[in-house]
Structure 1
Amino acid sequence: MTLAGVGTLARLAHAKEERRAILIVRGNISKFTDEKAKIYRFSEEEFMSLPQNSITTSTTWTTRSRFDGPLLSSVLEHVGASGSRLDVQALDDYSASIPMSDLDAFGPILAHSRDGKRMTARDHGPLFVMYPRDKYPSKLNTPPAQAKFIWQVRRITVVH
């Protein structure tokens, strides 16, 4: 096999790992599943093993529902993250920033289920940043706050 062929195989293997990961975290983190790329790829099993929480709320896009998933702060703690904000990217390349201060102020989760049913890309999944909007309507039912309800989450970049 030529050197170019080895490089192609490595890129294909990397692409396969990216597709299998439910979430990829990068940026200012201290734990990695890929030391060379400086990223942490969560398998579905590992993600689901994190402590789970629920938020019952409505959103602009959903009726009042129970959303289940780990606290966003737990996901970040798992990878040794520190910084001032998160840049969250969705499957369709939509992205928005979340200040770290939101994690203490509102306790958002990275929801994988709605009313006990796993979400898919067709219904806001596989992961949806969920805030308790109904608990803090004056703060979370505004256009800037609604921009942080990111669905089809794929990547999180932790920024200093």
Structure 2
Amino acid sequence: MRCFLALLPLIGLLTFGAPSSAAEPLPQPKGAVILTVTGRIEQTNAPGQARFDRDMLEALGKASFVTGSEVSEKPQLFEGVPLRAVLERVGAHGTVIKASALNDYAAPIPFEDLRFEPILAMKVDGQVLTVRDKGPLWVVYPRDAHEVLHDVRYYARSVWQLNRLHVE
């Protein structure tokens, strides 16, 4: 019986999943805010907003892949945070993410695109993205891993100079 009782917490994790980080309060950014998430979210750190600095995003986990893009003739190494991790952290619930850039370009990203594991790139080929180089963030899909991503629909969703996400 003791063995069974000792295993209960583990069984609960396996059955119901790990506790969501969205339940933890979202801290205040200490550095410059590079991403603001609004809309149908549960966690905020400003009225109606979840604001992230670079360190907060990096703390959500890192992801990287080498892939081609519509703006380069050769594959590049993209490093950043999984878009899924950002959405999970704020407790996003919706069907579409409106990704907006510094110049107000916006593109809708359907939640089903998360199956491709796009990232919010912060570095390309080891270099931190600046506004001049498509930063501070760039939505990047691993297009070389999925033939379907070689399509203008996904190119339009690869928003560079990203600074806002709105969950609808």
- Normalized against structure 2, the TM-score is what? 0.79
Structure 2 residue 69 is the aligned partner of structure 1 residue 67: no
Percent identity between matched residues is: 38
1:29 aligns with 2:41: yes
Q: Kindly report which structure 2 residues correspond to 1:104-115, keeping only aligned pairs within 5 A, or say none.
A: 104=115, 106-115=116-125
Match of 2:96 among 85, 89, 97: 85
Q: How far 1:117 sits from its partner (Å)?
A: 1.1
**Equivalent pair of 1:55/1:130 in contact (CA under 8 Å):** no
Distance in 2 (alpha carbons) for counterparts of 1:73 and 1:134: 19
Q: Does 1:101 align with 2:81?
A: no
- Once the 2 structures are TM-superposed, how far is the Cα of residue 116 of structure 1 from its aligned partner? 1.2
| Post-superposition offset of 1:136 | 1.3
1:114-133 deviation line (CA, Å, top 9, x unaligned): 11110111111110000011
CA-atom RMSD, angstroms? 1.4
Which secondary structure does the structure 1 equivalent of 2:145 belong to? coil
TM-score scaled by structure 1?
0.83
Match of 2:138 in 1: 128
**Bigger share in strand:** 2
Shift of 1:47: 1.2
Shift of 1:102: 0.5
Instruction: Using the TM superposition, give the Cα deviation of residue 43 of structure 1 relative to its aligned residue in structure 2, in angstroms.
Output: 1.6
Rounded to whole Å, the distance in 1 between the matches of 2:152 and 2:114 is 19
Find 1:39's aligned residue among 37, 45, 49: 49
Q: Return the offset for 1:99.
A: 0.3
Structure 1, unmatched stretches of 5+, are 1-16
Q: Is the 8 A contact 1:55 1:131 kept in 2?
A: no
| Letter in structure 2 aligned against 1:60 | E
Secondary structure at the aligned position of 2:154 is classed as: helix
**Structure 1 runs of 4+ with >2 Å offset:** none
Q: Which amino acid aligns with 1:133?
A: R
The residue identity in structure 2 corresponding to 1:121 is: V
**Structure 2: 5+ residue stretches without partners:** 1-28
Larger Rg belongs to: 2
